[in-house]
Amino acid sequence: METGLKEKVIMHALWPERRHQYNSTPLKHLLFYASVFDLIEKGIVNVENKRIKCRDAETGDPVLDDVVSLLLPYTGKKLSRIAYQLVPKKATGVYRKQKELMAAHNLLEKEDISILMWKVGNNYRVRNYDILKPGIKKLERVLVYGRKPDRQTMLLAVLAREGKLFKNIFRNYEFRKNAEKNYKMLLNSELIAGDHAITALRKSYKQSLNVQYASGTVTTP
């Protein structure tokens, strides 16, 4: 199974502390937007004048195909419709399917949670952390040492920072401190500031979470 942006954000979130495991709403929203990032890279989705553009296409990935189906009725609509209507209602189903798919491909291990022999839910853990190591090295070069990123590393940096995953990725405090500083510089660079689609989707992700904060579904960090 190809590990795209959406697989990487889940694995980073669940390793090593699994801190999103019991408050999964932020990760559900992050996964949805990571999926849209993947679709942008495939040329299926774009953002123009703060409006989503999506064409009907099959990707070979069941989760991405589901996201395409969800986005198609919103083609030409403002991104605010995605943030305030679509994502809060549909992110859970996408998240559930993604975890099940990753478990089927041995990227995640599924564990049943039982109380008095009654199954009450599931936990997921990362099977092989080594898959993430090459990407972490690239993130270190960019966010810790300030080097210019390739596009995939730039996109992962955006998702990781906005999804509050730096603590999971960078175990060293000084690394996290440098990563925060260099991310701010990257955010203001032409690489991101000049990319209208990514900039608009980053803001849309934050808007979608604000809906949950306002409703009390999750607590503002």
The model's pLDDT over 51-104, given as tens digits with 9 standing for 90+, comes to 999 999 999 999 999 999 999 999 999 999 999 999 999 999 999 999 999 999
How many other C-beta atoms lie within 10 A of the C-beta of residue 130? Answer: 8
Coil, strand or helix at 110: strand
Tokens of 156: 């992962």
State which H helix or E strand residue 48 sits in.
strand 45-48
Q: Which residue has the tokens 């949950």?
A: 212
| Nearest Cα to Cα of residue 12 among 177, 201, 187, 167 | 167
The answer to whether residues 164 and 9 touch, using CB atoms and an 8 Å cutoff, is no
Residue among 52, 2, 3, 44 nearest 156 (CA):
3
Task: With beta carbons less than 8 A apart as the criterion, state whether 45 and 52 touch.
Answer: yes
* pTM over 0.75, yes/no: yes
User: What is the CB-side half-sphere exposure of residue 85 using CA atoms within 13 A?
Assistant: 10
Longest C-alpha distance within the chain, in Å? 56
Give the residue among 160, 159, 138 at the shortest CA–CA distance from 149: 138
List, for residues 27-58, the tens digit of each pLDDT value. Answer: 999 999 999 999 999 999 999 999 999 999 99
The confidence band for 215, taking pLDDT boundaries of 50, 70 and 90, is low
The neighbour count for residue 48, using CB atoms within 10 Å, is 11
% of the chain with per-residue pLDDT over 90: 76
Which tokens in the block code for residue 95?
């998240």
- In the chain, what are the domains? 5-215 (1.10.3630.10)
Nearest CA to 125 among 31, 16, 27, 22?
Answer: 16
Q: What is the pLDDT of residue 210?
A: 83
Token pair, residue 41, equals 């890279």
The share of the chain scoring above pLDDT 70, in percent, equals: 89
Q: Average pLDDT over the chain, rounded to whole?
A: 90
pLDDT-based confidence at residue 111 (cuts at 50, 70, 90): confident
How much is the average pLDDT of 127-156?
95
What is the three-class DSSP state of 46?
strand
